[in-house]
Amino acid sequence: MDQAESVRTPSSWVVVGLDNGGTSNNATVLDATGQFLVDHLVENPSRVLDGPESAVEALADAFTGILELTRTPRSLVRAVGLDTPGPASANGVISSKGATNFNHVSWHGFDIRGALEARLGLPVVYNNDGNAAALYAHHQHFGAAAAANSSVSAIVGTGLGGGVVEAGAVIRGAAGMAGELGHVQIPLHGVLENDQPVPRCNCGFEGDVESVASLTGIKNNLLPYWLARFPEHQLAGEPIGAAAKALRGYAEKDDPMALAVFAQQAKAIGKLFTIAANFTDPAAYFLGGGVVEAAPHFRQWFLNTVRESTDLRDEQKAVATFALVPDRDMAGSRGAAVAALNTVIVG
């Protein structure tokens, strides 16, 4: 892609969105009119494995780099949106037990939002990565009507993240851990085979959504069962971690075993959305993560299976929308930027 043709210079004040991941940071700029100044991934190494000091410096590098790319004077930046994997508090303090990508003891209880704010000298607005993607999906889908609508998003990755958006804003909760949809326990009738063991999550729960609908759920729970039923499968001789990562490629080719695994994931998300329907009755249900980054026919099949597995009342069916989170890998940084913009506007 010719970056010169896909980068805009700002016409007003701006906010910056920074999406922090296990290997890379992704950055974007959003101006006061609601226009993103880049339409492609802009990444740099996140250095989270090197510890907090290196990681915060890498985020500062991402901030500087995106301003240079978009020819944005630093004086125009009103705020910075930051997202990271959770769990973390509403103010961006990593869990005292660590979190995804933040396993080293130096990360436990670390205030990443506060550290970045001190480093940049600008207000930093924090969300976890699932909430950021959910917020972006909501605003992109509803546009000017975002504040009049609600949505629930499930983001399928190594774990299962998500977010609940009400009246255009993320529901954070008292401790900042609302929307941890992966750890909602679901009824497993209609999801598992009769002889299939109850899946266990790394968090210690049995039968939560993440134990089924995540890469970890595939590796620990689903794939060992299905490989025993398909002993001649090409993945049978592979290490289980490598086989789990390769499974989506087989599903894209309509492999029966792979489709059986992903059908269980889709049904589990449908159970989650059924629960959501009775708690928040959202106008839209969004699906994101690895399944969105798959071949078009597969991701549409997966979304259709989720929709068919979500038990809505007739009144809800008439008004509810099911859709994929747009812009894939850019959703996190863009959602972080939207959160920062909303904070600046509200004041």
The tens digit of pLDDT for each residue in 16-35 reads 999 998 889 999 999 999 99
Cα separation, 73 vs 216, in Å, equals: 43
pLDDT in tens, 64-82: 999 999 999 999 999 999 9
- Under the banding of pLDDT at 50, 70 and 90, the label for residue 1 is very low
Is it true that 14-122 and 144-325 share their CATH fold?
Answer: yes
Q: Can you tell me which residue has the tokens 């589990």? A: 268
pLDDT at 88: 85
pLDDT at 300: 96
Taking the domain 144-325, which CATH number applies? 3.30.420.40
Question: Would you say residue 114 has pLDDT above 50?
Answer: yes
Question: Would you say residue 339 has pLDDT above 60?
Answer: yes
Q: Following DSSP, what letter does each residue of 168-217 receive, concatenated?
A: TEE---TTS-TT-GGG-B---TTTS-TTPPPPB-TTS-BSBGGGTSSHHH
- pTM of the entire structure? 0.90
Cα separation, 13 vs 36, in Å, equals: 12
Cα separation, 343 vs 78, in Å, equals: 10
Per residue, what are the HEC states of 57-75?
HHHHHHHHHHHHHCCCCHH
Buried b (16+ CB within 10 A) or exposed e, 50-82: eebeebbebbbbbbeebbebbebeeebbbbbbb
Q: 334 or 174: whose pLDDT is higher? A: 334
The arithmetic mean of pLDDT across residues 168-194, rounded, is: 90
Mean pLDDT of the chain: 93
pLDDT in tens, 216-268: 999 999 999 999 999 999 999 999 999 999 999 999 999 999 999 999 999 99
Return the percentage of the chain with pLDDT > 70, whole number. 98
Cα separation, 86 vs 92, in Å, equals: 9
Question: Would you say residue 5 has pLDDT above 80?
Answer: no
Q: Are 319 and 150 in contact (CB under 8 A)?
A: no
The CATH T-level fold of domain 14-122 is Nucleotidyltransferase; domain 5 (3.30.420)
Domain boundaries, the chain: 14-122, 144-325
Cis amide prior to 87 (ω within 30 degrees): yes
Cα separation, 123 vs 79, in Å, equals: 5
pLDDT at 85: 87
> Which tokens belong to 172?
């954070």
